[in-house]
Structure 1
Amino acid sequence: MVRQLPTVLVTGASSGIGATYADRFARRGHDLVLVARDQTRLEELASRLRAETGVKIDVVRADLTDSADLARVETRLRDDDSIGVLINNAGVSAPGGFANGDLDVMDRLIRLNVTAVTRLAGAVVPRFLARGDGAIINIASVLGLAPEISLGAYGPSKAYVLALSQSLQAELGGRGVYVQAVLPAATRTEIWAKSGRDVNTLKGVMEVDELVDAALAGFDRREAVTIPPLPDAGQWEKFNAARQAMLPNFANEHAAERYRTGNPGNSIAAQ
């Protein structure tokens, strides 16, 4: 008996990375649930992929910064037993940093890049655990590892997505649920124009097809973290190992010696 492939739910599916993921999974034979704000573009993509691949595709028009729309997608993830892969791709950037940033714009960014990602993952995890399998792909960014590049709340939001993915994988990986964080660098998508930047002025911009194909190679290998533009995987491994090496020291009950020596006002040093 041929096992039915799981349905894949993709957020931000109307263009760019999300649309390319939809294309690739459709060509692998997966049915799809496509979620985005642009109903027309979703329908056009769905019609093309149905004609080219024959898979079943549902279109869900939703603005994930709207609590009612987000709740509808959460309900679909919670109740639809056919969905076995969630791709948290929807995200937004914003121009400028904090010195001249618009707090309302940053708030919307956080609701989409952080809150929606968290709630959608949280909605689907109990069902994945109950059946003993499932996969979540979270689209983060290399900027989550580069706080020196100041783009307001965008980099920090993607650092959260990376940390969330690692935490979920640590908690759930041994129970049949696979979580992958994908960290693109600059990729040729509409996010640049929407944030007021011309992608053609940037160097080292990866084409979206190449980015998604690389991310799927990592998915097939069951990588916890996939960084498509990074030539030397050992650099990430060393970085992650250095982070893990610090963990036992965080349990010390006293401050490190460098914070106590030569400070007569410190109560620990005075004892």
Structure 2
Amino acid sequence: MSTDSRSVLVTGASGGIGRAVCARLAQSGRALVLAARDQGRLLALCDELQSVRPGRYEAIPVDMGDDLAIAAFGERLVDQGTVLDGVVMMPPQMPPTNDCMPPNDTWRTLFQRSFIGPLGLLKAAIPAMQPDPAQGQRVKVVIISAITSVQALGNYATSNVLRCAWLAEAKTLAFALGARGIHINTLSLGATLTPDYMASLQRRAEQAGVSFAQRLADETSNIPLAKYGRPEEVAVVVEQLLGALSDHMTGANLLHDGGFTRAY
């Protein structure tokens, strides 16, 4: 088993995908800084990870909607002498909506929680990074987005806008930070069978009067691999992007959607 001791910051750590990513990284021996809003859930996750593999797991609660909380988060990293060699950013998701022109206050809230706040957190984490390309020490940042970043979906009107912003920001940061040895890549996910998504799928099956298996088969019929992704599959890709795979990659976006997106 690997004994990789690099520290990785994972935001959204207590969510369905975040937990799978943390478990995968813990298995490889990574030290983790876990960030999310709910401190209780973060502490419980730290305990779970200790049972996966004893290691150094720190929980730091932070609210992406609060600029002061984000600034305090960054200060805590510096005060503790935390050194980050990797960051997994999972900006909060947006609920499905067909409304492409919601009220201004809705836009402001969504931009703060799903773009401005997470970007501020990444900025606050940069002082805790100590890349040294000459010595082969590089920092890998993986921003987890969604296929709405590359393909507009009618029932995800606001996500179509904000997820595109992340791809553009990653490209911009790749130019700005590449010479320092900080790599910025994005991962665009299709539907992934997190506990929350499975519960939503079950509700849709009940509303349609069909079994869960039938509803799942119906929904994945237009996906070449005929399936949705699993959090554990996402975790494997994230682990690779944090490692040597991305040593000559930055500003790149990888699709993890079973082939659903057909654009060139």
TM-score range, shorter chain: 0.7 to 0.9
TM-score normalised by length of structure 1: 0.73
The aligned residue for residue 65 of structure 2 is: 65
Determine whether 1:188 maps to 2:189.
no
- May I ask how many residue pairs the two structures share in their alignment? 234
The aligned residue for residue 123 of structure 1 is: 124
Letter aligned with residue 37 of structure 1 = R
Native 8 Å contact 2:84 2:129 kept in 1:
no
- Rounded Cα–Cα distance in structure 2 between residues aligned with 1:30 and 1:77: 17
Identity value in percent: 21
Relative to structure 2, which stretch is displaced further, 193-202 or 117-126? 193-202
- Rounded Cα–Cα distance in structure 2 between residues aligned with 1:114 and 1:197: 30
Q: Secondary structure at the match of 1:55?
A: coil
Relative to structure 2, which stretch is displaced further, 106-115 or 50-59? 106-115
Within 5 A, what are the aligned runs for 1:194-213? 198=203, 202-203=219-220, 204-213=227-236
Determine whether 1:215 maps to 2:220.
no
Native 8 Å contact 1:184 1:228 kept in 2:
yes
- Rounded Cα–Cα distance in structure 2 between residues aligned with 1:5 and 1:216: 13
The aligned residue for residue 139 of structure 2 is: 134
Point out the structure with max Rg over C-alpha.
1
Letter aligned with residue 38 of structure 1 = D
Native 8 Å contact 1:180 1:219 kept in 2:
no
State which of 167, 170, 179 in structure 1 corresponds to 2:175.
Answer: 170
Native 8 Å contact 1:34 1:59 kept in 2:
yes
The aligned residue for residue 44 of structure 1 is: 44
TM-score normalised by length of structure 2: 0.75
Q: Secondary structure at the match of 2:157?
A: coil
Could you report, residue by residue, the CA deviation over 1:114-169 in whole angstroms, capped at 9, with x for unpaired residues?
11221122223355366553221111111111135342321211111111112212
- Rounded Cα–Cα distance in structure 2 between residues aligned with 1:232 and 1:93: 20
Aligned CA distance change for structure 1 residues 71 and 194 (closer, same or farther; 3 Å): farther
- Rounded Cα–Cα distance in structure 2 between residues aligned with 1:197 and 1:104: 32
- Rounded Cα–Cα distance in structure 1 between residues aligned with 2:175 and 2:254: 16
The aligned residue for residue 99 of structure 2 is: 98
- Computed over aligned residues only, the root mean square deviation of the Cα atoms, in angstroms, reads 3.2
Query: Which of 1 and 2 has higher RCO (CA within 8 Å, sep 6+)?
Result: 2
- Rounded Cα–Cα distance in structure 1 between residues aligned with 2:20 and 2:110: 22
The aligned residue for residue 161 of structure 2 is: 156
Q: Secondary structure at the match of 1:83?
A: coil
Report the Cα offset of residue 92 of structure 1: 2.0
Q: Secondary structure at the match of 1:94?
A: coil
